[in-house]
């Protein structure tokens, strides 16, 4: 029975050796490929800098007007538009304008990257059950993994800065747009697809002219959830140098500055509500339009 008492020690030793091997191999990988990854993500860094400069260097009345026009044309609701304007004026009055613009620019970049990656992956999943079977477990892990864990490999590869923060945010926020793109395309009525086949439509024509337009409201719901999850990562991303509203909140936590934390938290909530209400209203408008067209 001695092996029963030795087994935990053996298991611990084996596990320790496994962890050591993984850590050493990953360090070797980062030393060998770190510069290559930095080069690959250089366009993302330039895009982020351009977006941030655009938001910060544009006079605030113009930014306010553009956001108000976007809110109005997307929602056609004066209450949502008024809330957006009043919230941004309050944010500016409390001296949080620059941090808010940095946060909005980061969310914009993260959303664009998530759309560019997530929608094609969702389309591939919708067209292949095998692809769906492979990707779904990966998405399950991405959605259940603690958000802090995403920062570890990204920081080891790229160091501390904006680009690692954007990558971590995208990894955390991308699952909803992939899942709902897949769901929206699969939910398209088969009778409509059969009618498209009867007219001799190719697979690309069916996707472009039938499936994507009909799935657009569901895809918009995925974009809405991606934006909300990206905003939820703002404070965590501040831990690795992402500028914006998350850094003052992090400072408030570390130094017990109650007022700074509350004011910046208020700004994050206002931005979240604006993005949420505008994108939801636009999704509802799309749904009604499609019901009229196909009804």
Query: Tens of pLDDT along 74-110?
Result: 888 888 899 999 999 999 998 888 989 998 998 899 9
Measure the CA–CA gap between 22 and 91, rounded to whole angstroms: 46
What's the pLDDT at 6? 52
Check pLDDT > 60 for residue 175.
yes
pLDDT for 197 = 80
Predicted TM-score (pTM) of this structure: 0.84
The per-residue pLDDT for range 272-290, each reduced to its tens digit, is: 888 888 888 887 777 676 6
Q: How high is the pLDDT of residue 117?
A: 93
How wide is the angle at C-alpha 70 spanned by C-alphas 114 and 231, nearest 5°? 40
Instruction: Please classify residue 153 by burial: count the beta carbons closer than 10 Å to its beta carbon, then call 0-12 exposed, 13-18 middle and 19+ buried.
Output: middle
Q: How many CB atoms lie within 10 A of CB 78?
A: 10
Residues of the chain with pLDDT > 90, as a percent, come to 21
User: Confidence class of residue 292 from pLDDT cuts 50, 70 and 90?
Assistant: low
What the block records as the tokens of 235 is 């404070």
Q: Are 233 and 268 in contact (CB under 8 A)?
A: no
Residue 146 CB coordination number (10 Å): 9
* Structure confidence at residue 182 (pLDDT): 93
Helix/strand/coil (H/E/C) assignment for every residue in the chain: CHHHHHHHHHHHHHHHHHHHHHHHHHHHHHHHHHHHHHHHCHHHHHHHHHHHHHHHHCCHHHHHHHHHHHHHHHHCCHHHHHHHHHHHHHHHHCCCHHHHHHHHHHHHHHHHHHHHHHHHHHHHHHHCHHHHHHHHHHHHHHHHCCHHHHHHHHHHHHCCCHHHHHHHHHHHHCHHHHHHHHHHHHCCCHHHHHHHHHCCCCHHHHHHHHHHHHHHHHHHHHHHHHHHHHHHCHHHHHHHCCCCCHHHHHHHHHHCCHHHHHHHHHHHHHHHHHHHHHHHHHHHHHHHHHHHHHC
What pLDDT sits at residue 295? 53
> Rounded to whole angstroms, how far apart are CA atoms 95 and 259?
13
> Which range has the top average pLDDT, 65-79, 155-169, 245-259?
65-79
Mean pLDDT of 32-47: 83
Q: Residue 234 above 80 pLDDT? A: no
Q: How far apart are CA 247 and CA 261, in angstroms?
A: 10
Distance CA 107, CA 114 (A): 10
118 touches 226 (CB < 8 A): yes
Cβ contact 252:237 at 8 Å: no
């Amino acid at each position: 029975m001695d092996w029963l008492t030795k087994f935990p020690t053996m298991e611990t030793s084996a596990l320790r050796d496994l962890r050591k091997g993984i850590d050493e191999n990953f360090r070797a990988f980062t030393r060998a490929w770190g510069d290559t990854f930095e080069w690959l993500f250089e366009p993302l860094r330039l895009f982020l800098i351009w977006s941030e400069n655009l938001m910060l260097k544009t006079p605030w009345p113009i930014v306010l007007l553009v956001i108000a026009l976007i809110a109005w044309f997307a929602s056609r609701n004066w209450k949502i538009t008024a809330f957006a304007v009043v919230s941004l004026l309050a944010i500016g009055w409390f001296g949080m304008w620059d941090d808010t613009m940095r946060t909005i620019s980061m969310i914009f970049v993260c959303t664009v990257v998530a759309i560019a990656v997530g929608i094609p992956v969702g389309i591939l999943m919708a067209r292949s059950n095998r692809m769906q079977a492979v990707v779904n477990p990966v998405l399950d892990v991405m959605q259940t993994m603690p958000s802090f864990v995403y920062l570890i490999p990204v920081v080891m590869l790229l160091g501390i800065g904006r680009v690692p923060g954007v990558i971590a945010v995208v990894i955390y926020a991308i699952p909803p747009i992939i899942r709902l793109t897949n769901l929206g395309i699969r939910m398209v009525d088969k009778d409509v697809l059969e009618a498209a086949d009867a007219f001799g439509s190719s697979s690309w024509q069916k996707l472009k002219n039938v499936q994507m337009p009909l799935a657009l409201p569901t895809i918009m719901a995925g974009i809405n959830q991606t934006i909300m999850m990206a905003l939820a990562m703002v404070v965590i991303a501040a831990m690795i140098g992402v500028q914006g509203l998350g850094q003052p909140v992090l400072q408030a936590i570390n130094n017990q500055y109650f007022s700074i934390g509350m004011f910046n938290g208020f700004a994050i909530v206002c931005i979240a509500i604006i993005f949420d209400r505008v994108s939801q209203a636009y999704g509802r408008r799309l749904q009604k339009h499609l019901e009229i067209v196909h009804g």
